Chains A and B, each alone.
Chain A
Amino acid sequence: MASIVDAGTTGSRTAPAAGQPRRRPPRSLAWLGIVPFFAFALLFLIGPTVYLIFGAFQTPSGALTFDNIIGLFTPQIMAAYSISIQVSLASAAFGALVGFFIAYAIVHGGLPGAIRPTVVTFAGVASNFAGIPLAFAFLATLGRLGLVTLFLKDTFGINIYTLGFNLLSFWGLTITYLYFQIPLMVLIITPALDGLKKEWSEASEILGASRWQYWRMVGLPVLAPSILGCFLLLFANSFGAIATAYALTGSSLNIVPILLYAQIRGDVLYNPNLGYALAFGMIVITGCSNVLYLWLRARAERWRQ
């Protein structure tokens, strides 16, 4: 034993030997705090989804098969996917375009200061006006007896229905979907537009560029990931939507969610496992869109210092 003891080292040397580390007990109890969440998510979110995914690759007797997936490639189902993708593309594209211009107008348009917060707030509210009430609202606006339809007929003598327009159609649904797609675009792209620093446009101008050159070489490339990402978000959003379509076009426009709905209700496809495949197809499409969206968002954020 050394005769000289350094007060500083004694304490730290003996602590581990004195007993177990004090941290263990509270931690095991703390796990209880988050177990309910994971259990709940497993039972009511992940579980059902995984069950469907597995079911997509099983026959009714449980054997592994790709028949269900192959069974998706019938004209009826392919048509459903085709229509769904078209509606989603159209509403996402127009939603992104119009939403971008509105966002640009309120951020860089030099408008009175109160306009921007008003538009943003309204966008927040409007993006929740989805579902069945939205269908009713558009029926009241552009339906056969809708306000705008009658106004155009009585005031300008233009009957849009005889001209071929029909709300209960592909374009009618797309126009209706825009009601929540455009606000979503505005909400997401406005911060990205804020990130377009004024110095960039000034630097480009002093270097001799015209406004169009600035947009082509700097502005749009910088915004591209955000715009593209939001487009994908809008696409996925539209693809999975059903309530508005149900109330508006019903089964006359056979988009995938409507087909799946009918399948769940009454096995219209005469093969229960085909429903799984349909659902699987939906998950793949919305999943890929969202993953791409997140990746693009990460890329866009890299440039914001």
Chain B
Amino acid sequence: MSFLQISNVSKRFGVNTVVRDFDLGVERGEFVSFLGPSGCGKTTMLRMIAGFETPSAGNIVIDGEDVTDTRPNRRRIGMVFQAYALFPNLSVADNVAFGLKVAGRPKSEIEPRVAEMLALIKLPHLAERYPYQLSGGQQQRVALARALAPSPRVLLLDEPLSALDAQIRLSLREEIRALQRELGITTIFVTHDQEEALSISDRIVVMSDGRIEQCGAPFEIYNRPTSRFVASFVGTLSLLDGVRESGSTVAVNGTSVTLAEPPQGATGAPVTLALRPEAVKLEPSPERINRLSARVEDTQFLGSVVRLKLSVAGGIILADTFNRPTAPPPLRGALVDLYFSPSDVFALKPGAAPGPATAA
């Protein structure tokens, strides 16, 4: 039994089913992200773990204790909100001390603990300030310290970085991860930003329309998406429409593309192939046996990465190469050959949620 076990949880609001058949086990000390677009149910699921919503079906068990019907203030869970939610009338120190005060802990215990937490978030000098005197990033760190001060069993973060500037977002997410590792606390992190989820999670739960699409480590989610939705939501993807041939090949407008394993479906059935930009190269190699002719439609210089937008007879393909000062990228309109290996191209499960042809 995992430390945090969510079994078959569903949530209905009237006629709308917002979460369905959610089944997940989170190990102690694990950092799991719920990733998905707005309205996919990730926040609702988080709020059910916190206790602000009650599941319509299923139950939630933390460390062996069934908390499905327990009030939020009895679950010993810490939560960080998107809007910081610091108490405006209390100083930073009093905010951090709140959970301990409420539990009736003696002052001799509270004061050192508050100092410890403030040192952890590297803001000990702000102890006497008030929330309205702090920046967004500082407020969120204080919110984090406040949530962690009472030593909760689970830490929940509801899109904590969405309200912050891009710069702060990057540095704060590293901090959150570092803190979580140091304290070893089981954490659930809700976000709609796939880059965020990929960079700091042990496991990602990709959600769509109330259910889990795929659950796995970032490497796996990115490189082996099991559905069209996951493939298009996480990372950039190029899609090619083709027709299945016998064996492991798919015909894309006349050219045969070899896959690592035979795709599903009968011979002649339509298949959609997916390619990551970094897998497509302009130079051949022993592994990159697949070849497609393409025409350069656009070149985007992104700094360290050069992204080419190429049209093939079957769709649009994006190709990423590292910037090389000595070799400028091809010009618009140039005709080039693209090479990729069978292990880099995969077929999407038929019938999954439709996404845009290329998702950025």
Tell me if A222 and B88 are in contact (CB < 8 A): yes
List chain A residues, Cβ under 8 A from B74: 208
Segment with Cβ contacts to A, from B97-105, B256-264, B278-286? B97-105
Q: Are B99 and A208 in contact (CB under 8 A)?
A: yes
Of A199, A209, A218, A304, which is within 8 A of B81 by CB?
A199
Contact (Cβ within 8 A) A197 B83: yes
Say yes or no: B88 contacts A210, CB within 8 Å: no
A199 in contact with B88 given A209-B98, A305-B132 (CB within 8 Å): no
User: In the bound complex, what is the Cα–Cα distance between A202 and B147 (angstroms)?
Assistant: 12
Contact A208:B150 (CB < 8 A) given known A203-B79, A217-B98, A302-B132: yes
Q: Does A133 contact B (CB under 8 A)?
A: no
A206 contacts the other chain (Cβ, under 8 Å)?
yes
CB distance from A226 to the nearest CB of B (A): 12
Q: Check if B228 is an interface residue, CB within 8 A of chain A.
A: no
The answer to whether B102 touches A209 (Cβ under 8 A) is yes
By the criterion CB–CB under 8 Å, are B103 and A208 in contact? yes
A207 pairs with B146, CB closer than 8 A = yes
Q: Mark B313-327, 1 if CB is under 8 A from A, else 0.
A: 000000000000000
Interface residues of A in 210-238 (CB under 8 A from B): 210, 213, 217-218, 221-222
For residue A127, CB closer than 8 A to chain B, the reply is no
Query: Given A213-B102, A217-B98, A305-B132, A205 and B73 touching (CB < 8 A)?
Result: yes
Instruction: Verify if A303 is at the interface (C-beta below 8 Å from B).
Output: yes
Shortest distance between the CB of A85 and any CB in chain B (Å): 30
Q: Is the CB of B72 within 8 A of A206?
A: yes
Minimum C-beta distance from A135 to chain B (A): 41
Taking CB atoms, residues of chain B closer than 8 Å to A217 are 87, 90, 98, 101-102
Contacts of B73 in A (CB 8 A): 205-210
A244 in contact (CB, < 8 A)? no
Q: Which residues of B are found within 8 Å of A199, using beta-carbon distances?
A: 81, 83-85
CB nearest neighbor in A for B143: A203
How many residues on B have C-beta within 8 angstroms of the other chain's C-beta atoms? 32
Q: A213 to chain B: which residues have CB within 8 Å?
A: 102
Cβ of B52 < 8 Å from any Cβ of A? Answer: yes
Give A289 Cβ to nearest chain B Cβ, in Å: 24
- Chain B residues positioned under 8 Å from A205 (CB to CB): 52, 71-73
Cα–Cα, bound, A202→B101 (Å): 17
Asked if A263 CB lies within 8 Å of chain B CBs, one says no
Interface string of B248-260 (1 = CB under 8 A from A): 0000000000000
Q: Does B205 contact A (CB under 8 A)?
A: no
Decide: A206 and B77 in contact? CB cutoff 8 A.
yes
A203 to B95, CA, bound (A): 11
Question: Does B102 lie within 8 Å of A202, measured CB to CB?
Answer: no
Do B85 and A197 touch (CB < 8 A)? yes
In the bound complex, what is the Cα–Cα distance between A226 and B146 (angstroms)? 27
Contact residues in B for A221 (Cβ distance below 8 Å): 89
- The distance from the CB of B156 to the nearest CB of chain A, in whole angstroms, is 8
Chain A CB within 8 A of B50 CB: yes
Instruction: Report the Cα distance A252→B98, complex, angstroms.
Output: 54
The reply on B277 being an interface residue by CB < 8 A is no
Most buried by B among A209, A210, A304: A209
Asked if B160 lies at the interface with its beta carbon under 8 angstroms from chain A, I say no
How far in angstroms is the closest Cβ of chain B from A64? Answer: 47
Per the bound structure, the CA–CA distance linking A218 and B94 in Å amounts to: 11
Judged by a CB distance under 8 angstroms, whether B36 is at the interface is no
User: A297: shortest Cβ distance to chain B, in Å?
Assistant: 15
- Contact B99 A218, beta carbon cutoff 8 Å: no
State which of B85, B89, B101, B103 has its C-beta within 8 Å of the C-beta of A203: B85
Instruction: Decide yes or no whether A54 CB sits under 8 A from chain B.
Output: no
Q: B87's contact among A210, A218, A302, by CB below 8 Å, is which? A: A218
Q: CA–CA, A204 to B86, complex, Å?
A: 9
Residue on B nearest A225 in the bound complex, by CB: B89
Instruction: Check if A200 is an interface residue, CB within 8 A of chain B.
Output: yes
Tell me if B78 is interfacial: C-beta within 8 Å of chain A.
yes
B residues 2-50 in Cβ contact with A at 8 Å: 50
Residues of A contacting B146 in the complex (Cβ-Cβ under 8 angstroms): 203, 207
Whole-angstrom CA separation of A74 from B72 in the bound complex: 61
Q: Whole-angstrom distance from the CB of B151 to the nearest CB of chain A?
A: 11
Instruction: Map CB proximity to A onto B40-74 as digits: 1 under 8 Å, 0 otherwise.
Output: 00000000001110000000000000000001111
**CB-CB < 8 A to B50: which residues of A?**
202, 206
CB distance from B68 to the nearest CB of A (A): 16
**Closest CB-CB distance, A247 to chain B, in whole Å?**
44
Nearest chain B CB to A113 CB, angstrom units: 15
Residues of A within 8 A of B (CB): 197, 199-200, 202-210, 213, 217-218, 221-222, 302-305
The 5 closest A-B pairs by CB, nearest first: A199-B85, A207-B99, A303-B88, A203-B85, A209-B102
Given contacts A205-B72, A207-B99, A305-B88, 8 further A-B contacts (CB under 8 A): A199-B81, A200-B85, A206-B73, A207-B73, A207-B78, A207-B98, A208-B76, A209-B102
**Cβ contacts A to B, 24 pairs, < 8 Å:** A200-B87, A202-B79, A202-B85, A203-B79, A203-B81, A203-B87, A205-B52, A206-B77, A206-B78, A207-B98, A207-B150, A208-B74, A208-B76, A208-B102, A208-B103, A209-B73, A209-B98, A209-B102, A210-B73, A217-B98, A218-B89, A222-B88, A303-B89, A304-B88
